[in-house]
Structure 1
Amino acid sequence: MTIQDNMKPETLEPELNEAENVRPASERSALERILTLTIGPIIAAFLLSAIILMLVGVNPLTYYGYILERSLFSGLGLQQTATRMAPLLFLCASLIVAFRAGLWNLGTDGQFLLGAVISAATAPLLVGVLPGWAVLLVGFVLAALVGAIWSVIPALLKAYQGVNEIITTLMMSFLGVLLASTLVKLLFRDPATTVPQTRTLPVEDRLPRLFDTSISSGLIWGLIAVLAVHIMMTRTAFGLRLRMVGANPAAATHAGLSVPLLTMATFGISAGFAGLSGATEILGVAGNIRANWDPAYGLMVIPLVFLARFHGVGSIVLVFFYSALMIGSESAARRLGVPQDFTLVLVASLLICLGLGEYIDQHKRKKER
């Protein structure tokens, strides 16, 4: 059974539903499914986190109030929330491609960091040699290529040997994180600093800001990436081929599709977007990368994509919600003495509730059959 079983949006063709033995969504209440699979897990996760906060002596209403105040009702906080969205959106695009094609690309963190490192290492060296737009373009292209290359081994093993990609992508992600740190310390280290980091891209040479604010224009490119991927996977013949391969490889082969090549293409596109995510963070905000830096955005975005049911617009809404949570929780943690890692507790609660919601939905489906 693929990861898309029982999780197809209503826009998918009846043939795909038949291939996956999924009952058409029109026979069930759309509102009921939204409550069970999306809204319900979110509310339950917040309630579960609230109980944990009360157990440690923190008023959950005060904690959540600080989050809203800092991330949405503050001009600077809202700008930081929008900027934080940019790399997360590219990761959403990466995961939507893989998950809709029935593949698990869990190596996005390694692909993200390697894309970030190569863009941070090359862009500062090209300043003054190439025009500003060309410097950014080279950084993005190299990041996408490096991310795609890092997925070749899992792609080959999956396409031609049938090796489980969950294991191989996780292993490559672990290696990618370590390799990125090693490259910063040894090969790409800035000799002018005592801290192991790459050279710094000047602020004026980074991605331009939007409307005289601190919001990186990477936000616009991230939105375009998610919407483009959504359209490709739901409205184009190429996207249909990828989804057919994920739904039923045997039927796809019988129809004359090259399953191995389409599998390789899925991995390449997905990992390329993960590399672009890393470049967006460096070329738009940070300007450099330090050794041992690993925000682990990839694994955090996975529950958001599942909650959105692999839908582009839904993913954008949930990324905004999560970015606000990340920015606001930093302020709330300082004010209330809560560890900043409590956001991870909320994410873990969300994963648990998401799994329970999926179980309830599948149980209802079995009763209907």
Structure 2
Amino acid sequence: MASERSGRVRGIVETVVRSVLPVVLALIAGGIILAALGKNPFVFYGAIVENGIGGTNWEDSLVMMAPLLLIAVGLIVVFRGQLWNLGSAGQYLLAAVVVTGIGPWALKTLPAALAYLLLAVAGAATAAVWTLVPAWLKARFGTNEIITTLVMSTIGAGLTNILIENVFQDPELNTPQTSEIPIADMLPFIPGTQVHVGFVVAIVVAIVFQVILSRTSFGLRLDVFGASPKAARHVGISSKRMIVLLFVISGGLIGLGAAMDMMGEWGYLRSNWNPHYGDAMIPFVFLARLSPVGSIPFVAFYAVFATGGTIASQQTGLSVDFLSVIVALILIFMTITEYVGTKRRLGQSYLPDELKNTVRIPFARLASRSAA
């Protein structure tokens, strides 16, 4: 009994250290930066909470969670295979321009339910197809997917602008943007709220993929492949097929997130707009230990932080770029915490080698200098 309790306590401590502490440290460091800029950190953080969940503001945060959670699950799937999909921005934008480009026609021509399904599939398929080039290059030639996904993301963003200005441009406007999906035709709200049903879709997808990754043979094969591609080949798992499949699933979920965002929140897409949702989600999916359901509270935290932080920044005369600084600090402290935690045997590392090496090398150099 005592050993069981001790194990539970140790598990709680490990969870706090690896998941909560980096966020706390980032907020503290952010507070110090705010103070250095002459801003009151307590007032700023208080304004974030008030504008993120106060009154009916919590509804805005839940609306933002819909695309964020779907993108997070998409990243989790590919990251669990020890692969990097850093092209989420281009995949999101291409899916968004397709959805908003054909959305007004689809919703005017087809029954609403069929139109929503068509647009969701179109968004998911567009983003999934955009991952095929880096997936094929990785599977066929072992090309570094970090480079290829970033390149494809840049191309995707440029292609999005071309499609907006030359194919889907709203003829009634001079501003380069797609035609708007009428407000009356956008996704319906959850009864009694101003939160569209895309939020429910995101929660269901997270739960479904939690089951798939933890209780199915596919999840087991994915874990084996992520642990060792060589071992996976020995047990009959095709590395090439797994790579392509993981990228397609990842892109499809990112595209689905774009579809929910366009059909439920924005209704149109403007040239040169890029929310960079995927970049913001990277540290949080690792804090969640690459668990779809575990990522829900972290995505909720960021949604509140981004929703309330945008307004708080305007109120305090601070650039909204400060929010990106906090996300970067979370990533830094997460990596440092993981490095220290692994050294102190708090458990097996859950970060990819590329991320751990960002602090391992500087720490090793520092240690050698101290010894000298």
Matches within 5 A, 1:112-131: 112-131=92-111
Deviations 1:147-203 (A, max 9, x none): 111000111111121111111111111111111122111111111111111111111
The equivalent of 1:321 in structure 2 is 301
Separation in structure 2 between the aligned mates of residue 93 and residue 171 of structure 1, nearest angstrom: 22
Matched, 1:58 2:42: no
Matched, 1:37 2:18: yes
SS in 2 for 1:312: coil
Change (3 A) 1:249 1:67: same
Deviations 1:5-27 (A, max 9, x none): xxxxxxxxxxxxxxxxxxxxx79
Change (3 A) 1:351 1:284: same
SS in 2 for 1:365: coil
Change (3 A) 1:121 1:161: same
- Conservation of the 8 A alpha-carbon contact between 2:341 and 2:347: no
Shift of 1:367: 11
- Conservation of the 8 A alpha-carbon contact between 2:196 and 2:264: yes
TM-score by length of 2: 0.89
Which consecutive residues of structure 2, in runs of 5 or more, have no partner in the other structure? Answer: 1-6, 349-372
The equivalent of 1:94 in structure 2 is 74
The equivalent of 1:294 in structure 2 is 274
Change (3 A) 1:366 1:84: closer
Separation in structure 2 between the aligned mates of residue 230 and residue 245 of structure 1, nearest angstrom: 18
Matched, 1:47 2:28: yes
The equivalent of 1:135 in structure 2 is 115
Runs of at least 4 residues off by over 6 Å: none
Matched, 1:84 2:64: yes
Matched, 1:216 2:196: yes
- Which of 120, 125, 138 pairs up with 1:145? 125
Separation in structure 1 between the aligned mates of residue 152 and residue 273 of structure 2, nearest angstrom: 17
Which consecutive residues of structure 1, in runs of 5 or more, have no partner in the other structure? Answer: 1-25
Matches within 5 A, 1:1-369: 29-75=10-56, 77-365=57-345
Separation in structure 1 between the aligned mates of residue 346 and residue 316 of structure 2, nearest angstrom: 46
The equivalent of 2:363 in structure 1 is none
Deviations 1:35-66 (A, max 9, x none): 32111101100000000000011110111111
Shift of 1:28: 10
Shift of 1:347: 0.8
Separation in structure 1 between the aligned mates of residue 26 and residue 65 of structure 2, nearest angstrom: 21
Q: CA RMSD in A?
A: 1.7
Shift of 1:222: 0.6
Tell me which amino acid in the other structure corresponds to 1:42: V
Change (3 A) 1:337 1:267: same
Change (3 A) 1:27 1:361: farther
SS in 2 for 1:276: helix
